[in-house]
Amino acid sequence: MAYEVRVNGQRKYRLGVLGSGKGSNFVAIADACASGGIPVEIGVVLSDVADAPILDRARERGLPTQHISPGQFRTKLDETAEQAYIAALQKAEVDLVVLAGFMRILKGEFLRAFAHKVVNIHPSLLPSFPGLEAWKQALDYGVKVTGCTVHFVDQGVDTGPILAQQTVPVLTGDTAASLHARIQEAERVLYPAAIGALARGEVVIQGRQTVWQKGASI
Ligand code: GRF
């Protein structure tokens, strides 16, 4: 099936951000919005963790936040929580759901409510090293180049259509921490740029491919 994500007519393209942790990607995106670097606004920031620093970073910037309990499961949202997340994002009238370190798998009802409108950043060059601690997987495997990937979210784990990727070298003497830090530095550039391209309608998704309009690139 072919589908497209395009910039809105009048009002700014609006993001709903979901995160569970530190929020460094969120900060990079929010700062790019505030400086006018990307033509988007942040409608709401949601977290499954009540004291997640990402909520503090959002409040400091005067953005609406909400903690929504994930319910009874460890790795996903239960039905009540899923409905609450959908309702909060719909109320904020978001055009794109941005996962920024959200540690819950989103499936079924949620992805149907925001069909082809959920993006994530993963700390490896997918399809290599999906899942947890991808930087550690890369180091243990012995690759010389890894990176980060912005992708649309589908029913699988880190399997959706790829929007943008950035390579990062693995250097002699790297530890898991040093490699992770280098990847995160790349993430903070790639993620805002990819979201900006979506907001400007410079990239559309067609089935498993994403197609960049003539002349557009990150
Ligand atoms: C990011 O580094 C990203 O790779 C992964 O979760 C991490 C979240 O970090 N999806 P932060 O909360 O943005 O600092």
Q: Is the CB of 187 under 6 A from ligand 1?
A: yes
What averages of pLDDT result for each successive group of 10 residues across the chain (218 residues)?
44 95 98 95 98 98 98 95 98 98 95 96 98 98 98 95 98 98 98 97 93 86
- The pLDDT of residue 5 is 43
- What is the three-class DSSP state of 34? helix
Which residue, by CA, sits nearest to atom 9 of ligand 1? 101
- The pLDDT of residue 216 is 86
Contact present, 105 and 130 (Cβ < 8 Å): no
Which of 44, 56, 52, 119 shows the shortest CA–CA distance to 84? 44
- The pLDDT of residue 124 is 98
pTM of the full structure: 0.94
CA distances from 191 to 27, 28, 30, 129, 157 (A): 11, 8, 11, 19, 19
For the stretch 14-54, pLDDT in tens is 999 999 999 999 999 999 999 999 999 999 999 999 999 99
- The pLDDT of residue 145 is 98
- The pLDDT of residue 6 is 44
Q: Is the CB of 25 under 6 A from ligand 1?
A: yes
Ligand 1 center–CA 100 separation, angstroms: 6
Q: Is the CB of 21 under 6 A from ligand 1?
A: yes
Ligand 1 center–CA 105 separation, angstroms: 14
Taking the CA of residue 21 as reference, the ligand 1 atom at the shortest distance is: 12
- The pLDDT of residue 35 is 95
Q: What are the two backbone dihedrals, phi and then psi, of residue 205, each rounded to the nearest 5 degrees?
A: -105, 135
Taking the CA of residue 99 as reference, the ligand 1 atom at the shortest distance is: 10
Q: Provide the token pair at 202.
A: 């410079």
Q: Is the CB of 200 under 6 A from ligand 1?
A: no
Other residues' Cβ atoms within 10 Å of the Cβ of residue 139: 19
- The pLDDT of residue 3 is 39
- The pLDDT of residue 1 is 32
Ligand 1 center–CA 54 separation, angstroms: 11
Euclidean distance between CA atoms 16 and 99, whole angstroms: 9
Q: Count, in order, helices (H) and strands (E) of the chain.
A: 6, 9
- The pLDDT of residue 10 is 63
Contact present, 102 and 20 (Cβ < 8 Å): yes
Is 151 annotated in the active site?
Answer: no
For the stretch 128-139, pLDDT in tens is 999 999 999 999
Other residues' Cβ atoms within 10 Å of the Cβ of residue 192: 24
